[in-house]
Structure formats: C-alpha cells, structure tokens
C-alpha cells in the first residue's frame, strides 16, 4: 500500500479519524487508520455491530424443534434455536444467575439448557423453569418469570437467512436489506426449495480488519489479476487474467450493500448461469421471482456480494472443460466476525441449491473445499494479503497513509441495467467500496 501523507489530523482520536475519512472518501481515499485500530474497533462494536442486522445462521441448520447453533456478534455469545413452537429465537448464552454460558456445545438439539455452574435450567424459549432446591435456597423470593435468558431484541429471516439485531429500535430486516434482496433472491431462489447449508461452518481466525474482507467481496474484482494470478496459470480460473473485469457492479446507495455480477470475457466459451446443469437453469426460469432476475442470472459466471456489515457471499463458475473434478459451481457464505482490532473469526458455510442431485452437492462441496474455505487456494491467497494490509495499517507510520478507492470514478452508470441499485457496466471499479465506506462512516458518526 503506497500512500501520500495524510496530514496530522489522522493520528489521534476516533472522531478525528472519522472526520478525515468523511473528508477523503468523496475523492476516493480513506485514512489507513480506520483499520486495525482499538478505538475504531470499540466504536464499531457499539455503533456497527450493536445496531446492525447481522447474519447468524440459515434455517436449514436448525430444521427441527429444539435444534440450535451457537453464533456470535463480535464477542456476544448467542444461542440461535428453533423453540418448541417452531419459532426461531436468539438467546444470550449467559445464565441469569452468575453469568455462566448455559450451552457449551456449538450445535445440537435440546428442549432445555441447564447451566453447568449451579444448575439453573431454561426452556429453549429462554424461560427459566428450574432452580435447584429453590425453596430452601431462595424461599419464595425468586421472581423466575423475570429471569429468563435475555432475548436478542430482533430476530428475523429472509429466504431462510436468519439475521439478528441487538438494537430494539433498528428498522426491520426487510427495510435494512432494501434492494439487495433482489440480488439475494438470485442466489437463494433458483430452485423451489431454496438453498441449504451442508455441514457445520468452517471457522478460522485471520489477523485482518473485518472491513478489508468485506470490501474485497463487495467490489474488489481488481485483485484477481495479481493475487489469484497463479490460479489462472494453474488453470483453476478462467484463462483471461482479466476475467473478473467483465459484467456489472451494483451497489445499493445509502445501505452499504453491493454485488458483483461477473460476466463472460468476450470470445470465451464460459457457459451461462455459472455453468449449472441445464435442469437447474430450467428450474430457475420459473423459480426466480422475475424474468429480469433470470436474465441477469443467465449472463452471470461469478457472483459476489457483501450485505452490510459483514455477510459475504461468493458463487463462482465451473471450468468449461471439466478438467478438474472440483471445478463445478459452488457457493460459500461467510461472516467476518470481528473479535478484536485487526482480528476476525471467519464463519464459512458451504451452501447449495437444495434441489440439486446428491452427486452435484458432493462435487460442489469439493469445489468449495479446494477453492475457498480454510484449505482453499483462493482463500489462502486472499488471507495472506489481507493480514499484511492490516498489519501496515496498525503501524506507527502506516496509519498515516491513505488507502485508494479511486478506480471507476469516471465510469458511467448503466441506465439500462434491469435490477435495482446503481450499476456500472464493468467490475474494475471501486464504486461498491466507496458506497460500503460511505455507509460505514455514516453509521460510525
Ligand atoms: S451461573 Fe448459572 S446456575 Fe449459577
Ligand atoms: Fe480473492
């Protein structure tokens, strides 16, 4: 990262850094000090993660009553459970007695959660139902009705995607997502049964600021030229090293959400609709909500999206020559959960259209494992780079540098684009990143 001096304003307080960010962003720059900084992280914990709708789980992970998974918003431990009535709830995993975690298994099925410290027992609705030797220990004084597990104030779903929000006053999920739903539909409604998560999420930690990962998936096609060049040379990516430049980049103004819909390089024979088999294409024609969404999907070879703040989705193509068994289309969803300044825990799920054959799902999961996920080639390319950006941004001098987001500032808007949002007819543009940071600054200030 090469930057010019940013002046004296950046070093110092969070508000100063945010003021500098707001001043610089219209010109396509940001102070590096927004990354890997303790003050910024503490503000993000409160303003971003304490108030945003954050992706937590998919309904297919908890299909039956009593099914639960443990998830996190920053360091808040949450139980995402389908209760006895079939309702999806978020419960703080913190006993109302002395604060112990009442559930310590990452996934399972339980009608009750019994705290391992003194044995207080809660129904999977969160209600406190059992206190050992209650009469002798507490007499008649314990108000059990008010001592249920604390509920996540807002939990809602969209197309099976479960989101939670720690702020009871935040707008509803549908409004929060806004027009990115049109693009999420393309990724989740290609077959009548929707999508399903297969297996537990892969989890690993990276020394990177969560925003660096999120910005990569919201609009950084440009890095594929260099970062993933070896994948092109190995034949694991389309032959044109500029393959990620084509197609359309779209952002939802004011929301921070964005998507890249990467098309076919001219003169190449990459198959339409990500290379999914013909029966999947036929299903999608009637399953997607609109003809426009089908047409857009048909022209897409690779699709990525980040839903503000920290859910990213990647759905890349298969190779046209079938040379690699694992090179059929796959989809991964991931949450970049910040666990400290310049540190994330990644939750990465393999997601597949539910109506695909078992054989397709098997091959698609191999495609995921080989490219993304903890052992994936592309994933390791990215993480290796990101850690060094975060490291530089946290240094004494490096935090005074500027980060450049000026690509595509002159690129015209595609007025013919059939979907919602602001579209540009190429992916080598930073429009989505500028929009992502515009939203970030707005929420942080
Ligand atoms: S801390 Fe849970 S029962 Fe005491
Ligand atoms: Fe990458």
CA dist list (Å): 19 to 8, 9, 67:
12, 9, 45
102 CA to middle of ligand 1, Å?
A: 8
CA of 370 to the centre of ligand 2 (A): 14
pLDDT of the residue at 74:
98
- Say which residues have a Cβ less than 8 Å from residue 127's Cβ, sequence separation at least 6: 145, 148
- Cβ(259)–Cβ(429) under 8 Å? no
Q: How far apart are CA 309 and CA 311, in angstroms?
A: 6
Q: Give the domains, in start order, of the chain with CATH numbers.
A: 56-165 (2.102.10.10), 178-444 (3.90.380.10)
What is the CA(227)–ligand 2 centre distance, in A? 7
Segments in the chain below pLDDT 50:
1-11
32 by Cβ neighbours in 10 Å (0-12 / 13-18 / 19+) ranks as buried
Contacts 24+ apart (CB under 8 A), 235-243: 235/319, 235/323, 235/324, 236/319, 236/324, 236/327, 236/371, 236/377, 238/265, 238/268, 238/270, 238/301, 238/317, 238/319, 239/268, 240/265, 240/268, 242/428, 243/268, 243/302
Cβ–Cβ under 8 Å, residues 283 and 191: yes
Give, rounded to a whole angstrom, the gap between the first and last alpha carbons of the chain. Answer: 26
Whether the CB of 11 sits within 6 Å of ligand 1 = no
| pLDDT value for 326 | 55
User: What contacts 225, CB < 8 A, 6 or more positions away?
Assistant: 241, 242, 244
Q: What is the pLDDT of residue 1?
A: 35
Any atom of ligand 1 within 6 Å of the Cβ of 95: yes
What single-letter DSSP state applies at residue 432?
Answer: H
Measured from the CA of 99, which atom of ligand 1 is nearest?
1
pLDDT given for residue 324 in this prediction: 55
97 C-beta closer than 6 A to ligand 1: yes
**Ligand 2 centroid – CA 100 distance (Å):** 39
Residue closest by Cα to atom 3 of ligand 1: 118
Q: Is 120 in the pocket of ligand 1 (CB under 6 A)?
A: yes
Ligand 1 atom nearest the C-alpha of 96 is 2
- The tokens describing 239, both together, are 């032959």
**What pLDDT shows up at residue 191?**
97
pLDDT (0 to 100) of residue 2 = 35
- Beta carbons within 10 angstroms of residue 277's beta carbon: 16
Q: Give pLDDT, residue 269.
A: 78
- Residue 274 near ligand 1, beta carbon < 6 Å: no
Task: Give the predicted TM-score (pTM) of the model.
Answer: 0.95
């Amino acid at each position: 990262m090469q930057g010019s001096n940013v002046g004296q304003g950046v070093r110092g307080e969070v508000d100063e850094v945010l003021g500098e960010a707001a001043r610089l962003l219209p010109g396509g720059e940001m102070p590096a000090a927004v990354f890997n900084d303790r003050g910024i992280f503490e503000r993000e914990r409160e303003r971003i993660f304490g108030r945003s709708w954050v992706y937590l789980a998919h309904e297919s992970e908890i299909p039956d009553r009593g099914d639960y998974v443990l998830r996190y918003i920053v360091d808040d431990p949450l139980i995402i459970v389908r209760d006895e009535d079939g309702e999806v709830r978020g419960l703080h995993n913190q006993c109302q007695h002395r604060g112990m975690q009442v559930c310590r298994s990452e996934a399972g099925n339980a009608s009750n959660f019994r705290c391992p410290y003194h044995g207080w027992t809660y129904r999977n609705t969160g209600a406190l139902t059992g206190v050992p030797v209650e009469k002798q220990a507490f007499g008649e004084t314990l108000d059990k009705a008010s001592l249920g597990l604390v509920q996540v104030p807002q939990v809602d779903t969209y197309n099976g995607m479960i989101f939670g929000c720690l702020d009871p006053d935040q707008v509803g999920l549908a409004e929060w997502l806004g027009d990115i739903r049109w693009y999420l539909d393309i990724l989740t409604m290609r077959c009548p049964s929707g999508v399903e998560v297969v297996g537990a999420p892969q989890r690993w930690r990276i020394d990177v600021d969560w925003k660096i990962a999120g910005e990569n998936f919201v609009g950084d096609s440009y890095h594929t030229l260099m970062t993933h060049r070896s994948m092109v040379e190995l034949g694991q990516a389309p032959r044109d090293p500029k393959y990620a430049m084509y197609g359309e980049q779209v952002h939802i103004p004011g929301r921070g959400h964005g998507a890249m819909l990467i098309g076919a390089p001219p003169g190449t024979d990459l198959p339409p609709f990500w290379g999914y088999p013909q029966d999947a294409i036929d299903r999608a024609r009637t399953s997607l909500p609109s003809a426009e969404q089908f047409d857009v999907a048909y022209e897409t070879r690779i699709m990525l999206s980040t839903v503000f703040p920290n859910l990213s989705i990647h759905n890349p193509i298969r190779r046209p020559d079938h040379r690699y068994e694992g090179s059929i289309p796959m989809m991964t969803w991931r949450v970049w959960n910040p666990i400290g300044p310049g540190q994330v825990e990644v939750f990465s799920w393999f997601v597949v259209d539910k109506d695909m054959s078992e054989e397709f799902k098997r091959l698609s999961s191999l495609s995921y494992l080989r490219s993304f996920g903890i052992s994936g080639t592309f994933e390791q390319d990215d993480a290796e780079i990101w850690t060094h950006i975060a490291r530089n941004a946290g240094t004494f001098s490096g935090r005074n540098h500027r980060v450049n987001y000026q690509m595509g500032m002159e690129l015209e808007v595609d007025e013919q684009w059939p979907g919602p949002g602001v579209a540009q007819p190429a992916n080598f543009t930073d429009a989505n990143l500028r929009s992502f940071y515009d939203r970030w600054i707005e929420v942080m200030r």
